[in-house]
Amino acid sequence: MSIRTDLAVEAKELYEKQSSRKIQGVEISNRKRGDIKISNVKVVTDEGERAIRKPKGTYITIDMPRLIHYDADGMDDVSQVLSEELSSVIKLQDSMTALVVGLGNWNITPDALGPKVISKIMVTRHLKELVPDTIDEGIRPVCALAPGVLGLTGMETSEIIKGVVNKIKPNLIICIDALASRKMERVNSTIQIGTTGISPGSGVGNRRMEISEKTLGIPVIAIGVPTVVDAATMANDTIDMVLDEMIRTSQEGGEFYDMLKSIDKNEKQKMIQEILHPYVGNLMVTPKEVDMVIDSISKIIANGINIALQPALDKDDINKFLQ
């Protein structure tokens, strides 16, 4: 499990590929809504938790269609699916307060997803407290925070969040963060909802203090999108595709064919990492159009959260509020 990934569905696929057996204690179901694929991974036992290195809980993965960022109607469809999946794990009464936290560094585009989402969240807690007569009774109190990162503030993100939680006492936290994937095709095209909280920076080997119900005392739902992939993983997968094509076109039983089949892919992966590290270190790669993509994904996620947290309002009402 040396390949970095924050996605539970990828961790499951990787474990089963490497061990050639099904994981005990991990349940998965798949379904589709039009062009949108939804996978639900449930880690239910300690064995499953150890196998994929994810805490026991539910991980919902939404695979967005290709070119979604150029399709306004398609973005709305993904936001609706996200809101429905998010609503299925939110346990809040109308009067309860939700705190939305955008993790990440707003100065680095692939890591700016969280703060960008926060800028589009419908915040209402101050209105419910200061001018309650001017807004509908069905509107839920929501507050938002973009705490920055340790290198900008000198404080652990979880320390900032814990201080806010102790002061305003929300009933639920929704965290948004950029993740890392092991497959390039999942970068900027997958949304994961997790019920077990989050460890900021873990996908790029920079694990910070955990943000979870265990550390904060209230439920924490994590929403993440993989925005980067490890360069060594890309090189490894590319060479695997080349080898598979060479095996397919080689004469079965021949000396060259046997040599290709005998290559240990795990050893090859270690060799690639050792060769690349002196030159590029732990290089993470993101697509060149990341600015536009992060902006559109932040709209998708913000709309999904707004709809889920304000069930008394429709999308048009929410958009009017944000104008």
The 3-class secondary structure across the chain, one letter per residue, is CCCCCCCHHHHHHHHHHHHCCCCCCEEEEEEEECCEEEEEEEECCHHHHHHHCCCCEEEEEEECCCCHHHCHHHHHHHHHHHHHHHHCCCCCCCCCCEEEEECCCCCCHHHCHHHHHHCCCCCCHHHHHHCHHHCCCCCCCEEEECCCCHHHHCCCHHHHHHHHHHHHCCCEEEEEEEEEECCHHHCCCEEEEECCCECCCHHHCCCCCCECHHHHCCCEEEEEEEEEEEHHHHHHHHHHHHHHHHHHHCCCCCHHHHHHHCCCHHHHHHHHHHHHHHHHCCCEECCCCHHHHHHHHHHHHHHHHHHHHCCCCCHHHHHHHHC
- What percentage of the chain has pLDDT greater than the value 70? 93
Condensed to tens digits (0 to 9), the pLDDT of residues 154-178 reads: 888 889 999 999 999 999 999 999 9
Q: Residue 4: pLDDT band by 50, 70, 90 thresholds?
A: low
Kindly report the average pLDDT of the chain as a whole number.
86
pLDDT band at 1 (very low <50, low <70, confident <90, very high): very low
At residue 292, the pLDDT reads 93
Q: What is the reported pLDDT for 235? A: 81
How do residues 108-157 score in pLDDT, each as one tens digit?
A: 999 999 999 999 999 999 887 888 777 777 889 999 999 988 888 888 88
pLDDT of residue 249: 81
Give the pTM. 0.84
Residues of the chain with CATH 3.40.50.1450: 8-232+283-322
Res. 206: pLDDT tops 70? no
Worst-scoring range by mean pLDDT, 17-21, 53-57, 225-229?
Answer: 17-21
Residue partners of 110: CB distance under 8 A and separation at least 6: 178, 227, 228, 284, 286, 290, 294
Right CATH for 8-232+283-322 from 3.40.50.720, 3.40.50.1450, 3.10.300.10, 3.40.50.300: 3.40.50.1450
**Residue 199 pLDDT:** 74
Residues above pLDDT 90, as percent of the chain: 43
List, for residues 59-103, the tens digit of each pLDDT value: 999 999 888 888 889 999 999 999 999 999 998 887 899 999 999
